[in-house]
Amino acid sequence: MSEPPQIRFDDGAAYETYMGIWSRKVGEQFLDWLQPAPGLSWLDVGAGNGAFTALLAARVKPASILGIDPSPAQLDYARKRQDVGAARFEQGHAMEIPAADASVDAAVMALVIAFVPDPAKGVSEMARAVKPGGLVAGYMWDWPEGFPFYCVDQVITGRGLPGVSPPSAEASRKQRMHELWQGAGLADVESRAITVERTFPDFDRFWAIALTGPRMAAQAAQLSPEMRETLRSDLKALLRAEDGKPLTLKATANAVRGRVKG
C-alpha cells in the first residue's frame, strides 16, 4: 500500500493566506498561557514564514530570536518580513538544531511537531539547546479533527481521493505531546487544549483559500473541473454554508510546556 501524500509548506506567501491568521490566533492564546518573562533569548524551531516569530517579537520583548526551518522559500519570506524585529533565520532541521548546548533561554515549536520525522529527537534537541531552568514549549493542531481545514480532507476522501497527513500525526495528540516532553527529561510538564475560530466573509472566500492549501495542491493534477466543482458543492453542503453570508470555523490545538532541569 502506498503512503498517503504528506503536507508540505514551501511557499511563505501562500502559507500566510492559508494558515497565517489561524497561526496567530492560536499563538496569541499560547503565549498568554506561557506568560514568559521579557528579555529572553528564543529559539523558534520550524519558524516557517515567520508567523509565530512575529508574535514573539511583538509580545514578549525578546532579547533575541533565532528561527530555523528547512525550507529556503519559507526562510526567504521570513527574512523579508517587517514585523520580526531583529530575528535571525537559518536553514536547519528540528532533529539537528544549529544551536549550541544551553545557548538560549527558551525554545518553541509552533505548529511543527507533527511534521518532524522523529518527534522525540526534536524535543530532545530543543531541550539540549536551552539553558538549565529554561522553557521548552510547543503547540500543534489536534490531528486530524482539530486542523482548521479538516473539512476539506473529509470531502476529498469522501470522493475516494487520497487524503494528506503530516509524517508524525500521532505527535499532535495532547497525551502524546505530554509524553514526549516527559521523555526528554523536562520538568514541570503541563499540557492543555486551545480552541480558536476564524470567520470568513463568505463561503467563496473560504473556498478560494482552501484551494491554496496542500490538501488541494496534492490533488491538483488529478482533479478535473467537474470534480473540483463536485468537491466545492460537497464542502458547501458539509458546512451548511449560505451564499453571501459569513462562515465561522473552529480549530483546536494541543499545547505543552516544560522546564530544563538544573
The answer to whether residue 225 is domain-embedded is no
Question: What's the whole-number average pLDDT of the chain?
Answer: 92
| Entry pTM | 0.91
The answer to whether residue 59 is domain-embedded is yes
The answer to whether residue 39 is domain-embedded is yes
- Rounded CA-CA distance 217/131 in Å is 41
pLDDT (tens digit per residue) in 48-94: 999 999 999 999 999 999 999 999 999 999 999 999 999 999 999 99
The answer to whether residue 243 is domain-embedded is no
The answer to whether residue 68 is domain-embedded is yes
- Looking up residue 71, the CATH number of its domain turns out to be 3.40.50.150
β-bridge pairing 88-91 and 104-110? unpaired
Over residues 3-7, mean pLDDT: 46
- pLDDT at position 111 over 60: yes
**Domain limits for position 137:** 12-144+165-197+253-259
Alpha-carbon distances of 97 from 36, 108, 123, 212, rounded to whole Å: 22, 12, 10, 30
Q: How confident is the model at residue 8 (pLDDT cuts 50, 70, 90)?
A: low
pLDDT (tens digit per residue) in 152-198: 999 999 999 887 889 999 999 999 999 999 999 999 999 999 999 99
Nearest alpha carbon to residue 16 among 59, 106, 78, 65:
78
Residues forming a β-bridge with 194 = 253
- Rounded CA-CA distance 105/129 in Å is 9
Over residues 13-40, mean pLDDT: 90
The answer to whether residue 234 is domain-embedded is no
Residue 142 DSSP symbol: -
- Rounded CA-CA distance 197/152 in Å is 16
**What total number of domains does the chain contain?**
1
